[in-house]
């Protein structure tokens, strides 16, 4: 922890913080001198004491695990007069600079219980705490960075004034996507599960099922057609019909051999969950390579799903916060087999809800969230459309199943000469 804190300090005053109040981000930064700037919005009309907690550790697994637990830990141990808001700190436009945490307003009588808890956290956990103090007149606020536990030798910087900051060009939640949410090589995803082996036994089981990188890259003779889309858009119906119509093999990602481990990874923080899905694609790629030497191959979900869901979860707020079209975030990994055609089924939300209801089966938590969270659904769809190399061809899935099949067969014949 101490090492990580020290590595942050040289850039400390270049950092910008964002606190989300009712879903809207408010930005502030710090500086050594006050030049008459107004008080940042999060500190205005504020009688309480304010603190920020940022999770930071060079151990990415520990950081992801601790962040996932932190909110519950705080809500359980803090007094009801404490209010938490999501917060982050970042170096504008600098990749991998995002630190996530919470902003805490405490309106209770005594500061002691909260400060005791925060002090304990700084000593035991990978967290960086700051307190904020209002000047005598109320016109200025200063930030005080707490030292971490027993590292007395560390040179702490002096207090800084907090001042309002501009919204950055790229939304902060986009800064850490690469290799935290979306993996662009076998090695990067592999390393995450390898580091989890001691704490998640299922991670070792997944590693044992993995192919070599060469196997995952083998290009088959027959065309490979991937069908993508949100849950209940008709992927299973269409992929089974395509298999029958084309005499094709039908595969899926994640592959069946990972089904017993999937629920465990769905409970893990994004870093670990997304590494699991990323590795699933390499297993499916080997199966595609084998089957594709004999017949055409239809694949139910592949890398588009892995990337689009991960990006949509990682990026908070509206669709415009997503990385712009053309961003490297949307680039197909060079070591994943490229399908001949990717079709993305779309459906208006009302019809999709009707199909989900009619099917009446259990849904993943994420799909339930999708149903309630229109924004998330829009972000997944937008991310699907922006992925390139191969891009996906969008097909309206609202007509009857046989018409959707005919339309996709036409696309396949045009593109794959079957
Ligand atoms: N073109 C279609 N028109 C009407 N209903 C459909 C169509 N395609 C699929 N369905 C129905 O919608 C539900 C979801 O389809 P399914 O193929 O299971 O979707 P997914 O695999 O994408 O989750 C199923 O009950 C299915 O019978
Ligand atoms: N190739 C894939 C397939 C699914 N995922 C992830 C993306 C979402 O978190 C879920 C969506 O899966 P869901 O349970 O809705 O999918 P199915 O109903 O099994 O088709 O799985 C993935 O990351 N990569």
Residue keyed to tokens 């981000």: 25
The ipTM of this complex is 0.96
Distance 101 CA to ligand 2 centre (A): 27
Kindly give the distance from the C-alpha atom of residue 401 to the centroid of ligand 1, in angstroms, as a whole number. Answer: 8
Neighbour tally for 326: CB within 10 Å: 10
Quote the CA–CA distance of 369 and 366 in Å, as a whole number. 5
Q: Is 215 in the pocket of ligand 2 (CB under 6 A)?
A: no
Answer whether 128 contacts ligand 1 (Cβ < 6 A).
Answer: no
CA 211, distance to chain mean position in Å, is 26
231 close to 371: Cβ distance less than 8 angstroms: no
Please, are residues 337 and 217 in contact by the beta-carbon 8 Å criterion?
A: yes
305 CA from centroid of ligand 2 (Å): 6
Nearest-ligand number for the alpha carbon of 405? 1
- If you take atom 16 of ligand 2, which residue's CA is the nearest one? 231
Pocket probe for ligand 2: among 183, 206, 268, 277, the residue whose CB has the most ligand atoms within 8 Å is 277
Distance of CA 372 from the midpoint of ligand 2 (Å): 17
How many angstroms separate the most distant Cα atoms in the chain? 79
Cβ atoms of 299 and 251 closer than 8 Å: yes
Cα 357 to ligand 1 centre (Å):
11
pLDDT tens for residues 253-298? 999 999 999 999 999 999 999 999 999 999 999 999 999 999 999 9
Q: Say if CB 52 and CB 87 are below 8 A apart.
A: yes
* Mutation choice for ligand 2 from 256, 309, 371, CB with most ligand atoms inside 8 A: 309
Q: What is the pLDDT along the chain (418 residues), one digit of tens a residue?
A: 455 555 666 788 899 999 999 889 999 999 999 999 999 999 998 778 999 999 999 999 999 999 999 999 999 999 999 999 999 999 999 999 999 999 999 999 998 999 999 999 999 999 999 999 998 877 899 999 997 654 433 455 678 999 999 999 999 999 999 999 999 999 999 999 999 999 999 999 999 999 887 777 788 999 999 999 999 999 999 999 999 999 999 999 999 999 999 999 999 999 999 999 999 999 999 999 999 999 999 999 999 999 999 999 999 999 999 999 999 999 999 999 999 999 999 999 889 989 988 887 556 666 665 555 889 999 999 999 999 999 999 999 999 999 999 999 999 999 997 7
Could you tell me the sign of the dihedral formed by the alpha carbons of 47, 67, 304, 243, in that order? negative
Asked if residue 272 lies in contact with residue 197, where contact means CB atoms within 8 angstroms, the answer is: no
Q: Which of 305, 356, 369 gets mutated to test ligand 2 (max ligand atoms within 8 A of its CB)?
A: 305
- Are residues 147 and 1 in contact, defined by beta-carbon separation less than 8 angstroms? no
> C-alpha distances in angstroms, 331 versus 115, 175, 222, 224, 390?
45, 16, 24, 19, 9
Q: What is the three-state SS of 200-242?
A: CHHHHHHHHHCCCHHHHHCCCCCCEEEEEECCCCCHHHHHHHH
The upper half-sphere exposure of residue 367, i.e. CA atoms within 13 Å in the direction of its Cβ, equals: 15
């Amino acid at each position: 922890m101490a090492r990580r804190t020290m590595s942050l300090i040289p850039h400390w005053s270049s950092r910008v913080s964002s606190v989300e109040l009712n879903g809207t981000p408010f930005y502030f930064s710090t500086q050594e001198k006050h030049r008459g700037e107004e008080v940042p919005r999060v500190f205005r009309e504020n009688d309480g004491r304010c603190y920020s907690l940022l999770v930071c550790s060079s151990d990415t697994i520990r950081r992801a695990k601790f962040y996932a637990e932190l909110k519950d830990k705080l809500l359980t141990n803090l007094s009801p007069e404490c209010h938490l808001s999501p917060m982050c700190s970042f170096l504008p436009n600098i990749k991998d600079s995002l630190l996530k945490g919470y902003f805490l307003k405490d309106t209770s009588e005594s500061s002691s219980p909260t400060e005791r808890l925060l002090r304990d956290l700084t000593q035991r956990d990978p967290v960086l705490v700051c307190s904020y103090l209002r000047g005598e007149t109320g016109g200025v606020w200063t930030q005080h960075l707490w030292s971490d536990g027993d590292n007395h030798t560390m040179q702490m910087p002096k207090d800084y004034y907090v001042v309002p900051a501009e919204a950055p060009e790229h939304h902060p939640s986009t800064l850490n996507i690469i290799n935290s949410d979306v993996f662009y090589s076998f090695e990067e995803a592999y390393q995450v599960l390898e580091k989890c082996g001691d704490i998640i036994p299922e991670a070792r089981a997944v590693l044992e099922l993995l192919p070599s990188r060469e196997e995952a890259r083998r290009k088959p003779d027959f065309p490979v057609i991937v069908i993508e889309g949100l849950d209940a858009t008709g992927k299973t119906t269409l992929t089974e019909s395509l298999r029958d119509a084309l005499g094709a093999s039908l595969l899926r990602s994640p592959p069946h051999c990972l089904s017993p481990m999937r629920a465990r990874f769905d409970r893990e923080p994004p870093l670990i969950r997304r590494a699991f899905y990323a590795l699933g694609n390499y297993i499916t790629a080997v199966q595609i390579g084998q089957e594709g030497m004999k017949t055409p191959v239809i694949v139910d979900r592949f890398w588009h799903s892995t990337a689009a869901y991960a990006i949509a979860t990682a990026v908070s707020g509206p669709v415009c916060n997503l990385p712009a079209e053309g961003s490297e975030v949307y680039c197909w990994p060079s070591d994943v087999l490229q399908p001949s055609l990717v079709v993305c089924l779309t459906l208006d939300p009302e019809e999709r809800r009707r199909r989900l209801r009619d099917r009446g089966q259990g849904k993943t938590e994420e799909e339930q969230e999708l149903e309630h969270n229109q924004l998330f659904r829009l972000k997944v769809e937008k991310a699907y459309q922006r992925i390139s190399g191969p891009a996906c061809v969008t097909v309206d899935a609202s007509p009857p199943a046989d018409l959707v099949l005919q339309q996709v067969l036409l696309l396949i014949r045009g593109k794959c000469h079957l």
